[in-house]
Structure 1
Amino acid sequence: MNDKFIAERVTQLRLTKNKLSEYKLSLELGLSRTYIGMVTRGKTKPSMGVFLAICEYFEITPVQFFAPYLTDKLNSLMMDINELADEDIDCLCRIVEAFLNDKKLKKQDEQTRKG
């Protein structure tokens, strides 16, 4: 993800909501009047708390915020995962971690044989 994505996405969301000004959005979120302007110009990145407040204000999830950046396949997978119970997500994380570790070991083994 490039550094411009968050700035561009906040601008996109802001403009789709009755062309809300940066100033007005800053005030609506209880921030300094120039904060959103600084975010949209790439001068600062929002904290996690501000990011979540932005998502809540626009009535979207963090996954939906990043949806334009994600591939269709990854976006679909994220939406499916979002429907799982916490223990299922934990299990899935362990499976992915094991898969990635195995892949890393195979790559190291392959490099050892070549070298």
Structure 2
Amino acid sequence: MDTNFVRERITQLRMRKGVSEYQMSYDLGHSRGYVNNISSGKSLPSLTELFAICEYFQITLVEFFDENISNPALLKNVVNELEQLSEKDLQLIQTIVEHLIQR
């Protein structure tokens, strides 16, 4: 993992959210080129800004750096919904997921 990961991850998450670099910069309270400078490799966010970026995407810093999760916000939402199901329903969901993985 290196600085390219941070830039690529921000771009990936931004595109999944469907916002432009300009809109994200504006939403974070920065000049219009802020996210573009990160994406192009001209700069990196400070740790404080990285926390703000994670909050913007509604994910934790751990989720940001987890390379195995391509859409952490979606996964988090699914897990939150699953927590409301009964044990019987969870077992059914588990069976469905196992079936889908075997495809």
Say whether the fold is shared (TM-score over 0.5): yes
Instruction: Name the residue aligned to 2:62.
Output: 63
CA distance in 2, matches of 1:67, 1:13: 12
**What's the TM-score once normalised by structure 2's chain length?**
0.63
Instruction: Name the residue aligned to 2:13.
Output: 13
Instruction: Name the residue aligned to 2:27.
Output: 28
CA distance in 1, matches of 2:49, 2:21: 14
- Describe the shift of the 1:65–1:54 C-alpha distance in structure 2 as closer, same or farther (beyond 3 A): same
RMSD after superposition: 1.5
Moved over 4 A (4+): none
Q: What is the identity percentage for the equivalent residue pairs of Structure 1 and Structure 2? A: 48
SS at structure 2 position matched to 1:27: helix
CA distance in 2, matches of 1:63, 1:6: 13
SS at structure 1 position matched to 2:11: helix
TM-superposed CA distance for 1:3, in Å, is: 2.2
Aligned length in residues: 69
TM-superposed CA distance for 1:69, in Å, is: 6.7
SS at structure 2 position matched to 1:30: coil
Query: Could you say which structure has the larger radius of gyration?
Result: 1
**What's the TM-score once normalised by structure 1's chain length?**
0.57
